[in-house]
Amino acid sequence: MSDTNTNPYRPGAGHSPPYLAGREEEVKKFAGFLEQDDITTNVILTGLRGVGKTVLMDDRFKSQAQEKGWVWVGSDFSESSFLNEQNLCTRLLTDLSVFSSSLSLSSTTTGRLGFDTGAPTEHALTFDFLATYLLAQPGLMVDKLKASLDLVWQTANKRGIRGIVFAYDEAQVVADQKDKNEYPLALLLETFQSLQRKGMRYLLLLTGLPTLFPKLVESRTYAERMFSVQEIGRLSPMASRDAIRIPLQDYSWQFSDSAVETIVRVSDGYPYFIQFICREAFDYTIVNPDSPSIPIEPIVRKLDSNFFAGRWETLTDRQRDLLYCIAQLPHADEEFTIGEIVEASKSNPRGVKPFSPNDVSQILPRLIERGLVFKNRYSKYSFAVPLFSRFIMRRFTLTQKALFD
């Protein structure tokens, strides 16, 4: 029996939940990609914030790959990784060197490669070695990176390594810098496609928001054929109940059936929201064991403050009005168009000044930059934050109430 005062729920960016529910299909599919002898399909794991992309990648995909003999390297991508092509190469070699430092080449081999002519010795493939080797290679930066990764693969393959997964989170920041004539994203795609065609088992796994895949295709149209996109969303009601109940299976008490159904309804199956609400409900129940229900309204207000408010407070009044018009749409949590936003603004009960198509076209890019909205490949838009429309409606309800109190 577990300590009944220890809260098992862990909301947070990338924090592993006590039980990962409802992702069996994604795990099974990724296992198939690890069986490739010739890598023809890389993987994109995408979804809104809070759906558990990072946890699925770090907990299930990583352990699965390592069990099958794959080496796992990677980290989070950042904007600085894509300032120029050399920065990207540095990022990749830095991550790879954590593994490759355990590999070594004799000076006979490196000398034959035109890299070393000193006395016979062993050279560990450390970051310093790889960085020096990279710059010593002829050609463009893409040629240098290919040669460096080729060297590591040939050495790793002799050790019986099945393959190497390059796994990167927050990959939606990837971008070419056309104004500076720097194409790090194109370099990334070309390098992996070229090495994979030569039979090297380098597998690229990118995790990010739904804006990721269109960026890859925009950089190199063949990216559409390089990747399988796994989009994850909300959990089913059954999986949501498992995520709530199973962490308490060794405890002396459980949430009541009505409390479980309330959490399922309010969270709408989004893993982060489940963890947040359960954590708060757990703490409340420990202090108030005889309470017949959980205080869902105060918990939702705290969720609004912790998850949504920071994004909301940075917006202008006009941007907020536009988001309110979107939230009025019956399919606000799915997809919407510029025309639908314009029409919604004409019948807005709050008396918002109507938006023209040009107004909407100017404001939406600003909302995209703030990570609140994204544009898909079919010129439609969606919220990048789950259940954002519900928050917007709650916020404007509170605002209106304050005006009349």
Question: Is the pLDDT score of 226 beyond 80?
Answer: yes
Average pLDDT over residues 130-147: 96
Average pLDDT over residues 293-314: 91
> Which range, 72-81, 114-123, 382-391, has the best average confidence (pLDDT)?
382-391
Question: Is the pLDDT score of 110 beyond 70?
Answer: no
With bands split at pLDDT 50, 70 and 90, how would you rate the model's confidence at 49?
confident
CA-wise closest residue to 81 among 163, 15, 169: 169
Question: Which residues, including other chains, have CB under 8 Å from residue 178's CB and lie 6 or more apart?
Answer: none
Helix 141-158 vs helix 127-136: crossing angle, to nearest 10: 130
Q: What is the strand order of the sheet 227-231 is part of?
A: 70-76, 163-169, 202-208, 42-46, 227-231
% of the chain at pLDDT higher than 70: 92
| Strand 202-208 relative to strand 42-46, pairing | parallel
The model's pLDDT over 80-92, given as tens digits with 9 standing for 90+, comes to 777 789 999 999 9
Question: Is the pLDDT score of 93 beyond 70?
Answer: yes
314-404: which CATH architecture? Orthogonal Bundle (1.10)
The model's pLDDT over 379-393, given as tens digits with 9 standing for 90+, comes to 789 998 899 999 999
Q: pTM for the whole thing? A: 0.85
Question: Which residues, including other chains, have CB under 8 Å from residue 307's CB and lie 6 or more apart?
Answer: 50, 272, 273, 276
Average pLDDT over residues 174-196: 91
Lowest mean pLDDT among 1-5, 26-30, 43-47, 59-63: 1-5
* CATH code linked to domain 24-231: 3.40.50.300
Provide the pLDDT for residue 109: 56
Q: How many CB atoms lie within 10 A of CB 387?
A: 20
Question: Is the pLDDT score of 2 beyond 60?
Answer: no
Average pLDDT value over all residues in the chain: 88
User: Is the separation of the CB atoms in 81 and 88 below 8 Å?
Assistant: yes
Q: Which residue has the higher pLDDT, 75 or 152?
A: 152
Domain map of the chain by residue range? Answer: 24-231, 237-310, 314-404
% of the chain at pLDDT higher than 90: 63
Provide the pLDDT for residue 160: 87
Q: Which residue has the higher pLDDT, 123 or 2?
A: 123
Provide the pLDDT for residue 405: 41
Question: Is the pLDDT score of 52 beyond 60?
Answer: yes
Provide the pLDDT for residue 403: 37
Question: Is the pLDDT score of 16 beyond 90?
Answer: no
Average pLDDT over residues 352-376: 90
Average pLDDT over residues 196-224: 91
Residue 184: φ, ψ to 5°:
-65, -35
Provide the pLDDT for residue 120: 60
DSSP one-letter code for 57? I
With bands split at pLDDT 50, 70 and 90, how would you rate the model's confidence at 4?
low
- What is the rounded CA–CA span in Å between residue 234 and residue 392? 20
CA-wise closest residue to 55 among 6, 98, 22: 22
Tell the burial category of 393 from Cβ atoms under 10 Å away from its Cβ (0-12, 13-18, 19+): middle
